């Protein structure tokens, strides 16, 4: 009985933590892309740590992503596309089954040619593809078709992160990359 009560309390606390995290993300950052008619949002934060620049994409959606094969992010324009691969093969959502919503982080390197692609183009779609599951892999695709290019470009300016090991909350004013 005590085990059941503790499990229920932990689930409620976890639920609160996930919802609070989503609210914090939405308050601190502007969504760079959405899926029309849903609560799917894509957020972006460029970070610089010891001179190394990377992009942290945060996906808020009703899908739980657990992958050991990473994912790809495809940025589509009218007549071109650019594909980035996740830095890590292990992707795991913080997911609330009660609310059917989760937060997934995907990091990629911030490459100079990708910066040039962002400067020169307007995205019609950002597509995220992953194989979810460890044994029975299932293809999962998110297609964000409302892209806010101003928010995307502003989010590409790296913020300096302190070398504390916690890369989820970068601090500092950041340096301009010319975007």
Q: How far apart are CA 10 and CA 91, in angstroms?
A: 23
- Residue 102 resides in a domain: yes
**Does residue 174 sit within a domain?**
no
The answer to whether position 88 is within a domain reads yes
The string of pLDDT tens digits covering residues 89-145 is 998 888 888 888 889 999 999 999 999 999 999 999 999 999 876 666 778 888 999
The answer as to whether 177 is a domain residue is no
In a domain, 23, yes or no: yes
pLDDT in the model for residue 101? 87
Give the pLDDT of residue 163. 55
Q: What is the pTM of this model?
A: 0.80
Residue 164: pLDDT band (50, 70, 90) is: low
Is residue 18 pLDDT above 50, yes or no?
Answer: yes
What residue numbers bound the domain in which 105 lies? 2-160
pLDDT at 83 over 90: yes
DSSP bridge partners of 43: 58
**Total number of domains constituting the chain:** 1
Query: Burial letters for 96-127: b for 16+ Cβ neighbours within 10 Å, e otherwise?
Result: beeeebbbbbbebebeeebbebbeebebeebb
Burial class (CB in 10 A: 0-12, 13-18, 19+), 64: middle
- Report the C-alpha gap between 118 and 149 in whole angstroms: 9
């Amino acid at each position: 009985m005590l085990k059941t009560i503790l499990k229920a309390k932990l689930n409620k606390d976890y639920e609160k933590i996930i919802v609070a995290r989503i609210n914090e993300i939405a308050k601190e950052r502007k969504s760079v892309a959405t899926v029309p008619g849903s609560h799917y949002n894509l957020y972006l934060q460029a970070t610089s740590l010891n001179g190394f620049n990377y992009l942290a994409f945060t996906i808020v959606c009703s899908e739980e992503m657990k992958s050991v094969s990473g994912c790809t992010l495809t940025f589509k324009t009218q007549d071109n596309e650019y594909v980035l691969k996740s830095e890590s093969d292990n992707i795991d959502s913080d997911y609330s089954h009660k609310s059917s919503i989760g937060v997934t982080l995907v990091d990629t390197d911030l490459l100079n040619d990708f910066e040039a692609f962002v400067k020169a183009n307007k995205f019609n779609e950002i597509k995220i593809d992953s194989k979810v599951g460890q044994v029975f892999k299932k293809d999962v695709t998110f297609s964000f078709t409302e892209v806010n290019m101003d928010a995307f470009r502003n989010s590409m300016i790296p913020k300096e992160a302190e070398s504390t090991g916690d890369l989820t909350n970068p601090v500092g004013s950041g340096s301009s990359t010319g975007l």
